[in-house]
Copies of this chain bind each other. A is one copy, B any other.
Amino acid sequence: MPQDSVDLIVTSPPYADSRKNTYGGISPDEYVEWFLPVAAELQRVLKPDGTFILNIKERVVDGERHTYVLELILALRQHGWIWTEEYIWHKKNSSPGKWPNRFRDAWERCLQFNKDKKFNMYQDNVRVPMGDWAKSRLKNLSETDKRRDNSKVGSGFGKKVSNWLGRDTVYPDNVLYLATETGNKNHSAAFPLELPAWFIKLFSKEGDLVLDPFLGSGTTAEAAKILGRKYLGIEQKEEYYQVAVANITSLNQEDTQPRLL
């Protein structure tokens, strides 16, 4: 691949040592070492104003959270990546289970890395409906606030409130509150379509190129296709590749578009 050719990278690599029977299963202690050559190639092909989103969560090893994700962040910075932000994916329906020393794990990291401090971000593409507070708060402004609006002299007290009139969406924050995919995909990672879709809308525009170097069942490419982006996926396992191709080609644009927009 040519250098500086990709607008956005969104990926969820195989987590260390997990899914051992379905994927390669990288040992936690070797995870950073295993990932760095990949990151170097990603850095080469990403445009200077592009973004790299890494969805990952550290395993529990021997009763303790392993530190390979922390070490990976530090290592990537050593190699020139900028650690711009850490988004949290807060899962509505996390895996069940009960243990004496911990609760169910309901969140994952979505790490944002950049090559440059200036990067493309299209914030208006991910505005969310205003919270419920607005309904009760802005419902009955009519009498007093209309008067305030008409008299533009002086106080400015009413101005703040009237600023909110007519708006129905606000900017989100850095926590994504999404359900996990309960679908029937033949791939063990529960990676909901909305997760890559959110980052694709936020960090790319139509016609841009989105890359997923660990394609898996093709969720990132599906989201990119639905959103009108070009997409490129890499997958080592023949069987996942076949699943991804099937998922992507069977996509019916008319069916899926309303789901995301």
- On A, residues with C-beta under 8 Å from B are 21-22, 62-65, 67, 70-71, 73-74, 77, 82-86, 88, 90, 94-98, 100-107, 117, 119, 121, 123, 152-155, 157, 159, 171-175, 177, 184, 186, 188
Docked complex Cα distance between A100 and B171 (Å)? 12
Distance of A219 from chain B, by nearest CB (Å)? 15
- 21 A-B pairs within 8 Å (CB atoms) are namely A21-B154, A22-B154, A65-B85, A65-B86, A84-B101, A85-B102, A88-B90, A94-B173, A96-B157, A97-B157, A100-B121, A101-B121, A102-B174, A103-B123, A103-B173, A103-B174, A104-B174, A106-B173, A107-B174, A153-B188, A154-B188
Docked complex Cα distance between A83 and B60 (Å)? 10
Distance of A203 from chain B, by nearest CB (Å)? 11
| A98 contacts across to B, CB distance below 8 A | 171
Contact B188–A107 (Cβ < 8 Å): no
Contact B173–A104 (Cβ < 8 Å): yes
Contact A174–B121 (Cβ < 8 Å): no
| A107 contacts across to B, CB distance below 8 A | 88, 174-175
Docked complex Cα distance between A184 and B154 (Å)? 11
Chain multiplicity (copies): 2
Distance of A56 from chain B, by nearest CB (Å)? 13
Contact B84–A65 (Cβ < 8 Å): yes
Residue of A101, A121, A152, A186 contacting most chain B CB atoms (<10 Å): A101
Contact A63–B82 (Cβ < 8 Å): yes
Docked complex Cα distance between A22 and B154 (Å)? 10
Contact of A171 (CB < 8 Å), options: B64, B103, B173: B103
- Per CB-CB distance, the 10 closest pairs between chain A and chain B, nearest first, are A106-B173, A104-B173, A70-B70, A63-B117, A106-B175, A103-B174, A103-B173, A88-B107, A65-B83, A64-B82
| A117 contacts across to B, CB distance below 8 A | 62-64, 101
**A105's closest neighbor in chain B, by CB?**
B174
Distance of A176 from chain B, by nearest CB (Å)? 10
Distance of A88 from chain B, by nearest CB (Å)? 5
Distance of A191 from chain B, by nearest CB (Å)? 13
